Structure 1
Amino acid sequence: MVILFRWLFRATVALIALGVAGFGLAYWLAARSLPDYDATAEVAGLSAPVEIVRDHSDVPHVFGATDEDVFFGLGYAQAQDRLWQMILLRRTAQGRLSEIFGERTLPIDRLMRRLDLYALATRSVEAQDAEARRALDAYSAGVNAWLAEVNEGARGRGAPEMWLFPQAIAPWQPADSLAVLKLMALQLNAQIDAEVLRARASLVLAPERLADLLPDMPGPGVAALPAYAELVPGARPSFAQAAPRDPLFPNAGLPFAGASNAWAAGVARSASGATLLANDPHLGLTAPSLFYLARLELRSGGVIGGTIPGLPLILSGRSADLGWGVTSSYLDDLDIHAEEVNTEDPSQYRTPDGWAAFVTRDSIIEVKDAPAVTIRLEWTQNGPVLGPEDFDLGLVRPAGHVMSLSWTALSDRDTTFSAGLRLMRAHDVEEGLAAGRLLVAPSQNLVLADRNRIAMTTVGAIPVRDAGHESQGRMPTLGYKPQNRWKGVRPASANPVFLDPPGGLVGNTNNKILDAPFPDHLSFLWGDSQRIQRWQFLMQSRELHSRDSFVEAQLDTVSPAARTLLPLVGRDLWFTGDAAPDGTPERQRQRALELLAEWNGEMNEHLPEPLIYSAWMRALQERLIRDELGPLADPFTHMEPLFIERVFRDINGASVWCDVRQSAPVETCDDIARQALDDALVAIAESRGAALESLRWGDAHEAAHNHPVLGGTPLLSWFVNLRQSTSGDDHTLNRARTLGTGPNPYLNVHAAVYRGVYDFADPDSSVFIVSTGQSGHPLSRHYDDLGELWRRGEYIPMSLDPALARAAAVGITELVPEATAP
């Protein structure tokens, strides 16, 4: 026995030693790719030395003799901090993820090859102006300088992820940056999912009930539409489950399309006598964040703000003279067409002039640990043909047809990058507006403020539709009918502009901004009907605004949806129940109603009421729609306040949703509200406990910053994923969009990845923040150091003063031209 014990002890010690040694080796290999910010590097491609000053938050301040040298320095800095993220974005746009991830990502690669975004980006390089091309070349050279340092200096393959996915890294090209822009256009677009969902719902709902479930934003100008079966004969209802989207899929779906807030105050509405601007773009939360902070010292002056790794543009930020912010415009810049295939010759499809041949090309997708896959790419006059699995188009595709896509982003003369570069060099609102006219996609609302003026405009190419378009762009239509085809795009000068409005304020929360009849409208789908109400209240609640009042509005967590819906849904439940003993469902319901009766709608992480309200509204919508839609209710993962309001106000007979069709009794809306509250309380008790007063919204509503690749890997997920208790919800200005599915549907997964407030009374008192940290390296202290500030609603200074950047610098990198190196 003693001998056995000795051997077991020795084996245990040996295993522990091996484990420690293995962990130490893994740590050493991963740490090799941590950049040294206090270094001098000899590089090719510079005209003069470049200095990259990293301030205390690891924000690079790049100084150089020419603009090209500055963009070189930005490429070098972004590659140091976010190389893996940049490579992943590029591979996604190229349709080459399967080379490293295998068959898992084949659906993504097929879609990207069909869209051909990378080829379009390559051809768009020549469409840029001369300055833009020089900037792209210089930025690419900077990225490649760091890649050379990785290869020659044993820098741990550039990122820890590269040890797990050891593929060779091709040099960065100007087209790679333009491809990232096109990828953003895909990520922010909600229209294709909306068309598919509306088409599916129209096959099982009467038109007036479809108007309840997928309501238009309030306002006139929308005509009644036919059902999808009338538009595309042969379409049949489908209750098949849509395939879940991979975390790497470049479009997360309709509930998670791009969103943002941006607003500005003119001189007359500013306490300081100078303009103010605030912006917080909303995107999926990831670790690291998609945004990266940077300052560039250009010949036109310094600019500072948020960039996206791989893209040498300040997308939201300021110079000494001009501030700019962006929100997703929700412009309807996309149409789906059902293209009839010739039954006698499948290589042809129907056009207004008869049968025409598809334009085709084969594309080979290399797949890790599997044979390569060859796919046939097809194009019609309307655009590329997509597969039935792409965006679940197969669920609405009639027999004998394929589905094609018209989309403004499918341009090979896309000057969006040139527009962004000119915006960075603009000195006033007029120059900013002129720069925006070059933008093609993704369409945005651009908010501008110089020292004296403010403006907002919708930028991006707007398609011209025929007044007789059969679905008004809201559902797929037959592609051969002339009235369903685009007639080109509008001149950029015709895009809406709001310049120095009389009220002294401009702003957008993805809300409807234009009330015009089709086809002069911008969209029928808008990203917000609720946050705009709170914004209007906060802006008009004081005559003069300051940087602090703008920060307060950005961080506001009062839900206008909660304040509207609770009095409607619970109006006949409060104070009407009979006394009930503890431990009964009736008593639990009374406790919940008592808490909600005293609540002001603030979605505070420390309160129980937000969780009770959210669970109640979630259960209520489920009860209202499940019996009518069956499995088709599954895509409706998030409560729609306008739908609930229509039902409980009985607008156009919408209260009929409260009656359960399969039951003999006629249920009232009060019955359904009470039953839904009981459903919610049971669900809460099973997952969080029955003590309602001890619940915390933040325990359920954690911000989930997941690593896109390693976030689902056991053990590694503990190192790369970030979790934070957060306030807010889907409808607060401090937007924190919930997951909507799974065991914890209240996870915060889509929120402000960047916040900035720019004050032109004292520009250096402007502030900004991102949702994680500057570094994409999990072992860096800058991986998550800004995330806690972000969670608490704090910011860091946004200064263009070089002395302030140097005063607390964490390192200064000097890039020296090869020819002049000592």
Structure 2
Amino acid sequence: MITRDAWGIPHVTGATVLEVAREQGRATAQDRPWQLEVERRRAEGTCAELFGASAREWDVLARRALLVDVARRAHAALAPQSRAFVDAYVDGVNDVLGGRGGRAATVTRPWQRWTPLAVFAVQHLLFSRFPGKLWQHHVASVLGDAAAEALDLLRTEGLPGGSNAVAVAGSLTASGLPIVAGDPHRVIEAPGCYAQVRLTCTDPEDPVDVAGLTFVGVPGVQHFGHAGSVAWGVTNAVADDEDVYAEELVRHRGAVIARGATGWEPVARRVEVVRVRTAEDVYDAVPVEVLVTERGPVVTGGPGQPDTFSLRNPSSVLGNLGFDTLLPLLRSRSATDVTAAFAHWVGPVDNLLVADATGIEHRVVGRVPTRGADGTWTGWVEDLPCRTGEVLVTANDRATDDFARIGDDFAPPHRARRLTEVVDGLVAAGPVTPEVLGGALADDRQVAGEALLDLAATLVDLSPPATALRDRLLAWDRRMAVDSVEAALFAAVRAAVVEAYATAPALAGVDASPFGELYAPWFDLRGRLRLVLSTLLSAQKAFGVDPLQAVADALEVVAHAPEPAPWGSAHVVVPLTAAQQFGLAAPDGHAPPWPPVWGDDDCVLATRALGGTGACVHGPVARFVWDLAGDSRWVVPLGASGDPASPHHHDQQAAWAAGRTIPLEDR
């Protein structure tokens, strides 16, 4: 049975967990049929059939990365109960998409049993470390001997902006029970990648009652859930769990071979065809050579080509996408149950915050490889970081020294420090309530910019307009508020400083992707410089740039330009439709409104601005506050429905844009 609350959010009830799974599949297909079609095509590498040449790059990568192969292997390897659960969900999807749910057929082909696993793999292919490692290889090839110093200065997670999660123990809350809150950050899509759902199984021998957020096209509740007596949420741990290998491939007697550690090795090869739409019912057939070396599938380049790399990750090595986690999560009643469920997790490697009546805990979950002296994988890190306390915060940062066991590139500490400061303030004012803890996630104070402003304060010999601008920024409250002109002025000064570093001769040639537009976000030099600007400004002429001169010049440029409009005039959220994500215009009537949004790259409310000053396409794709006392809240950027004509297509957008949440239906 499917019922819906005032926001159109489905409450799925079944007499067995398999009935729940099937009804969840039906509810998803009712709400998001077009999105399910797009996600299936992303997984199978058939997007160019719909979107034309602009989607060809993705289709080629999806084929080369073996998304379907890994999903098939992982589905076949599932425990019987898990496989039945996934299969029931697929049956529910096909009931609706195939027209058996009282609707006309809306798709070209049904979902396969393994499709949810492939859809899950899609969500994490470019969310992973490997594009960043391609960028590191590129920097090394361009800068040569200077690359090590450059990479050390630019060291950080893959993209600006990031997720937050916080847990507060019951000893500090108004109810006496813990609260877990968080906001995953990704590209903001229309419709959104996460769907809100409540799942209830009435079987007295197998009771389930879980509210949470699920990837559209994936059964159960994966990363963020509230099961009454226990709640959990995650952030990306930014672990070093993948490797890319420079490959030398040649054709030899009709085959492809690769140079390995001990000589030439055979390469598995097959040719697939990507159909690219060129006109109505007209397609080009583009052959794609799918190659797999001893190290992994080849994701860029090919025989005789430069920049040829293969990818090795835990999911493909193990043939496991972690789906044996899903059913135990739904059945969890305690923190011990949740952590036991996540023992099956593979990737991405996550920071898990979990709370029950006994307390709160932060632990890293997933598979992180151990490596031998030659870089070969030798096993898995067993002693993953774990900590407890009364307040736990994670923001993709190096939370403790123990994180050295899982990687060396993490988010800068600004967000984690600021969120900790805000929550500590709430605790001091105490006791903490769900409403005020959720509000902490909307904090819009620009903290990383302190280094720039501190330098500005030391400058002399500025022109009168630049001096006035400097003094105005020093008096600014540091909030990236939509009505703040000073926030816009700060962003303009920061952009000018970043430009001084981006155009430095020492970085010539770095700001370009040799791998195509698909990887361009990871090769955005200015975005990377903006994220580590405080580090650069505290260094001795990083990349040959005098930081004092760079800041002085930036103040002069901005001071002599027309005053910008308030921050919210340009900093509007632009949820991207599938067509827009492939570089096309949104279909008429499909683009939701573009409200102004608070925050910035370096705020807790990490709403990344294009170019540092423009529209926001990357930010919180959900916000949740799980209160074990029952006053839980949540919100997504748009709404429950993927139909632009539905009243629930973007009815949550105003609350989301203002940093608020909506009530979770009473349990």
What is the CA-CA distance between 1:527 and the residue it aligns to?
2.8
Shift of 1:208: 6.7
Distance across 2 between alignment mates of 1:175 and 1:718: 33
Distance change >3 Å, CA 145–CA 338, structure 1 → 2: same
Stretch deviating more after TM superposition (171-180 or 732-741): 732-741
Separation in structure 2 between the aligned mates of residue 195 and residue 715 of structure 1, nearest angstrom: 31
The one of 605, 609, 632 aligned to 1:738: 609
In structure 2, what is the Cα distance between the partners aligned to 1:455 and 1:137? 33
Distance 1:716 1:631, change over 3 A: same
- Residues 514 and 521 in structure 1, CA contact (< 8 A), matched pair in contact too: no
2:257 matched to 1:348?
yes
- Counterpart selection for 2:184 from 272, 281, 285: 281
Q: Deviations over 1:739-788 (max 9, x none)?
A: 228xxx5211111111111111x21x110011101111111111111111
Tell me if the contact between 2:188 and 2:618 (Cα under 8 Å) persists in the aligned partners: yes
CA contact (8 A) 1:188 1:328 kept: no
Q: CA deviation at 1:563?
A: 2.9
| Distance of 2:336 and 2:645 partners within structure 1 | 45
* 1:537 aligned residue (416, 421, 429): 421
Matched, 1:362 2:271: yes
Deviations 1:256-287 (A, max 9, x none): 68x31111112233333211100111111111
Identify the match of residue 672 of structure 1 among 543, 547, 550: 550
Secondary structure of 1:464's counterpart equals: strand
* Helix, strand or coil at the partner of 2:577: coil
What pairs with 1:631-650 in structure 2 (closer than 5 Å)?
631-633=509-511, 635-638=524-527, 640=529, 643-650=532-539
Q: Does 1:139 align with 2:10?
A: no
C-alpha contact 1:287 1:708 (8 A) present in aligned 2: yes
Which residue among 61, 72, 87 is the counterpart of 2:11?
61
SS of the residue 1:427 aligns to: coil
Name the residue aligned to 2:517. none
Deviation at 1:130, TM superposition (A): 2.4
Q: Work out whether 1:409 is the aligned partner of 2:315.
A: yes
Provide, for residues 426-479 of structure 1, a one-character-per-residue CA deviation record: whole Å limited to 9, x for no partner.
Answer: 11111111111101122211110112221111111111112x3xxxxxxxxxxx
Distance 1:303 1:214, change over 3 A: same
Structure 1 residues 524-566: Cα deviation after superposition (integer angstroms, max 9, x where no partner): 2213421011022123233443213311211111121123431
1:553 aligns with 2:444: no
Counterpart-to-counterpart distance in 1, 2:199 and 2:355: 19
- Contact conserved, 1:415 with 1:438, CA < 8 A, in 2? no
Equivalent-residue separation in structure 2 for 1:646 and 1:104 (angstroms): 37
The 3 A distance-change label for structure 1 pair 567 and 412 is same
CA shift for structure 1 position 149: 3.1
Matches within 5 A, 1:618-637: 618-627=495-504, 628-633=506-511, 635-637=524-526
**Corresponding letter in the other structure for 1:780:** S
Question: Which residue does 1:607 correspond to in 2?
Answer: 484
- Work out whether residues 624 and 658 of structure 1, in 8 Å CA contact, stay in contact via their aligned partners in 2: yes
> Once the 2 structures are TM-superposed, how far is the Cα of residue 171 of structure 1 from its aligned partner?
1.7
* Pairwise CA distance, 1:648: 3.4
Once the two structures are overlaid, the 10-residue window that deviates more, 207-216 or 272-281, is: 207-216
Q: Does 1:182 align with 2:182?
A: no
- Count residues in correspondence: 640
Cα distance in 1 for residues equivalent to 2:654 and 2:442: 14
Using a 3 Å threshold, how does the CA distance of structure 1 residues 441 and 565 change in structure 2: closer, same or farther? same
User: Which AA in structure 2 matches 1:774?
Assistant: A
For 1:412 and 1:465, how far apart are their aligned partners in 2?
Answer: 16
Note if 1:772 corresponds to 2:656: no
Distance 1:445 1:715, change over 3 A: closer
Distance 1:261 1:616, change over 3 A: same
After superposition, residues 470-509 of structure 1 pair within 5 angstroms as 483-491=374-382, 494-498=383-387, 500-501=388-389, 504-509=390-395
Q: Is residue 337 from structure 1 mapped to residue 245 from structure 2 by the alignment?
A: yes
- Find the counterpart in structure 2 of residue 29 from structure 1: none
Stretches of structure 2 that go unaligned for 5 or more consecutive residues are 513-523
541-550 or 297-306: which moved more? 541-550
Deviation at 1:702, TM superposition (A): 0.4
**1:404 aligned counterpart, secondary structure:** strand
1:524 aligns with one of 408, 418, 440: 408
Over 3 Å counting, the alpha-carbon distance change for 1:181 and 1:626 in structure 2 is: same
- SS of the counterpart of 1:725? coil
Instruction: Give yes or no for the alignment of 1:453 onto 2:359.
Output: yes
Q: Once the 2 structures are TM-superposed, how far is the Cα of residue 717 of structure 1 from its aligned partner?
A: 4.9
**Alpha-carbon distance change, 293 to 642 in structure 1, aligned in 2, over 3 angstroms:** closer
Q: State how far apart, in whole Å, the 1-side matches of 2:193 and 2:259 are.
A: 42
Aligned residues of 2:493 and 2:558 also touching (Cα < 8 A): yes
C-alpha contact (below 8 Å) 1:267/1:275 kept by paired residues: yes
Farther-moved stretch of structure 1 (286-295 vs 186-195):
186-195
CA distance in 1, matches of 2:538, 2:298: 43
Q: CA deviation at 1:408?
A: 1.6
Structure showing greater radius of gyration is 1
Equivalent of 1:729 in 600, 607, 622: 600
Unpaired segments ≥5 residues, structure 1: 1-50, 159-167, 218-253, 389-393, 469-482, 579-585, 660-668, 802-822
Cα distance in 1 for partners of 2:536, 2:580 equals 43
Shift of 1:673: 1.3
- Residue 311 of structure 1 pairs with residue 218 of structure 2: yes
| C-alpha distance in 1 between matches for 2:611 and 2:484 | 20
Instruction: Check whether the contact 2:46–2:275 (CA below 8 A) recurs between aligned residues.
Output: yes
Separation in structure 1 between the aligned mates of residue 491 and residue 234 of structure 2, nearest angstrom: 29
The C-alpha deviation readout for 1:623-655, integer Å capped at 9, x for no partner, is 1241222342462122646743344334xx345
How far did 1:656 drift? Answer: 6.4
Matched, 1:170 2:54: no
Identity %: 27
Matches of 1:344 and 1:66, distance apart in 2: 56
Match of 2:291 in 1: 378
Partner of 2:209: 302
Q: Which residue of 2 aligns with 1:234?
A: none
Shift of 1:495: 2.2
Distance in 1 (CA, whole Å) between partners of 2:149 and 2:377 is: 30
* Inter-partner Cα distance in structure 1 for 2:52 and 2:356: 50
CA deviation digits over 1:382-403, x for unaligned, max 9? 1011223xxxxx9xx9977832
Amino acid at match of 2:244: I
Q: Does 1:597 align with 2:597?
A: no
Range 111-120 or range 618-627, more displaced: 618-627
**Mapped partners of 1:714, 1:381: distance in 2:** 41
1:126 is displaced (CA, Å) by 2.2
Could you give the per-residue CA deviations for residues 318-377 of structure 1, whole angstroms, max 9, x where no partner exists? 011110101111111111111233686672222233221111122222333233222221
Partner of 2:519: none
Residue 110 of structure 2 aligns with an amino acid whose one-letter code is P
Helix, strand or coil: the match of 1:724? coil
The amino acid of 2:264's aligned partner reads W
Match of 2:572 in 1: 702
Contact kept? 1:303, 1:800, Cα under 8 Å: no
2:368 paired residue among 428, 446, 462: 462
Corresponding residue SS for 2:126: helix
Separation in structure 2 between the aligned mates of residue 370 and residue 701 of structure 1, nearest angstrom? 39
Matches within 5 A, 1:210-225: 210-211=150-151, 213-215=153-155
Cα distance per residue 1:493-519 (max 9 Å; x no partner): x32222x33xx12221000134359xx
TM-score by length of 1: 0.73
Name the counterpart of 1:270: 173
Contact 2:633 2:662 (8 Å CA) reproduced: yes
How far apart, in 1, do the equivalents of 2:103 and 2:168 lie?
A: 51
1:91 matched residue in structure 2? 41
Corresponding residue of 2:146: 206
